[in-house]
Structure 1
Amino acid sequence: MRTIYRKWSEYPYPGEQEPPKGSAAPGYWSMFFIEKGTNGQFLDLSGRVITWSIKHPNTVNWGSELALLEQTLHAQTNQHIQIAKYWGTGEVAAKMNSLAYSLAEAYRYGSPETARMTAYLNAAIHDTCVITWMLKYKWDVARPNQYGHSLPTVLFTPRFPSYPSAHATISGCAEAVLTYFFPAYSARIQEIVREAALSRFYAGVHFQADNDEGLRLGRQIGNIALRELGAGQT
């Protein structure tokens, strides 16, 4: 399929002469809950073909996405900047694990329950990273700073393709798993996850579509993992 959007591997970042280079290696790692089939298909552990819950980038209006981002960045608030910096400092997977441990303490989990919960959480996040990196490099969508506009970004732009946002996919996955184990805190978990994804938009390093579609994809992968517990959505 011919792409109708700007590619990450073809445009330099501001102040640079050559397009960025990254590593697609995580997209080829083996997974815990997902298997690679033939002809580019992916299967769950029951052998069912997975159709990913994410729009093809050809269907996204990237011009409108850029305009929305520019408008937001030029009307940035201190709260938005604080959110961007908080979630941009350290790894989002580590922050989701910190959340998981605090919830386990609130639920008075013992060591066996905590180990089981974190095993499912981190195996699901691992698979989410694999699929995210596979799609990032397959689709090769440019970052906002590659459109020749002077964007007042809050953080540096990562050196890998934009779509989907890894912050969003990891957060969406964590939401699915953590709301299963800790249903009494579902509303709070969802609030935290939305903020984590939105932080990348506030930082100026992702489009809104990167986040919205990333959350959908991450939730799907989290539920694929939960099916092994007999608890996920089918």
Structure 2
Amino acid sequence: MQADYPSNLSSLSVAVPSAQKVLRNTYMLLAMTLLFSALTAAAAVALHVSYGVGLVSSLIALALLWFAVPRTANSAAGIGVVFAITGLLGFGLGPVLNHYLALANGAQIVMLALGLTGIAFLGLSAYALTTRKDFSFMRSFLVAGVLVAFIASIVSLVAALLGHPLPALALTVSAMFAVLMCGMILYQTGEIVNGGETNYVLATIGLYVSLYNLFTSLLQLLGAFMGERD
């Protein structure tokens, strides 16, 4: 499941002294939520959580993302909501991770997807931080791309549920999301650096969602091309 972005998040902001402070707070909160998410994912893997439980966990996280974040982003409660969302999304990944870990080279696939996600984030963030370019021109393209990819993913899911899976479409959707999430990381970091995003709660959840979608997309792509059953 791909996590989505609430359209009204960008309208909220919190006054802070500088972009540097927003960036520092964002990276600090992002690091803590990524660790928390990894812990909940590990718990779900150890408990062998079912796909149904994982789906419910992810749906609750998406509901909080859309309805709770906009109402709490300007208060301390927003931090708690961010941890709730990232923890639930991590827990929801448990069944997916168990699926790939069941492959003969599953651990390699998961670690490679994780490593590529980290490299992409560090590289794109470093580029945005050093060049300080304005990437706001990418916004309309990225929003349109995510919408198209989301619709295509729904078509792929429905086809699979009807017993007519479309593997080529599923892989195309994963590739689209991977490219789009790289663009999102670049755009979101640029917004923080250039003062377009002044709320570190919103900045953190935006970057987390991009990293989450990038990781799951890479996992699907690598699993399709590298997966070997025991």
- Common fold: TM-score over 0.5: no
TM-score, normalised to structure 2, is 0.32
Higher-helix-fraction structure = 2
